[in-house]
Amino acid sequence: MVEKTLRIFKLEGETGSLEVRVHRRSRNRGAPFYSSELILGPGDRIVVDAPSAPLSERRMRLIAPAGIYCRKKLDGMENK
């Protein structure tokens, strides 16, 4: 599988700015697919796949706030 980073952008949130990377990946048969990756911490990331780069980015912008909120809630439950 071949991977190329197409774009890097920042998502602004309550906790600050988080970096999102949009990748183009090609399978063995050459059919490309796109994914957006948000790294929250060591070993903790959110990955969204889509058939196009703009759709992958749009999905990440929609899903990321909910994912970050859920992680914060889980962290709060583990610390009690």
**pLDDT tens, position by position, 6-20:** 999 998 877 678 899
Res 80 pLDDT > 60:
no
Tell me the whole-structure pTM to 2 decimals. Answer: 0.78
- For residues 5 and 12, the answer to whether their CB atoms sit within 8 Å is no
What are the pLDDT digits (tens) for 31-42? 889 999 998 878
Residues linked to residue 36 through DSSP beta bridges, in sequence order: 22, 48
User: How far is 76 from 21, CA to CA, in rounded Å?
Assistant: 27
| Beta strands 16-26; 2-13: pairing state | antiparallel
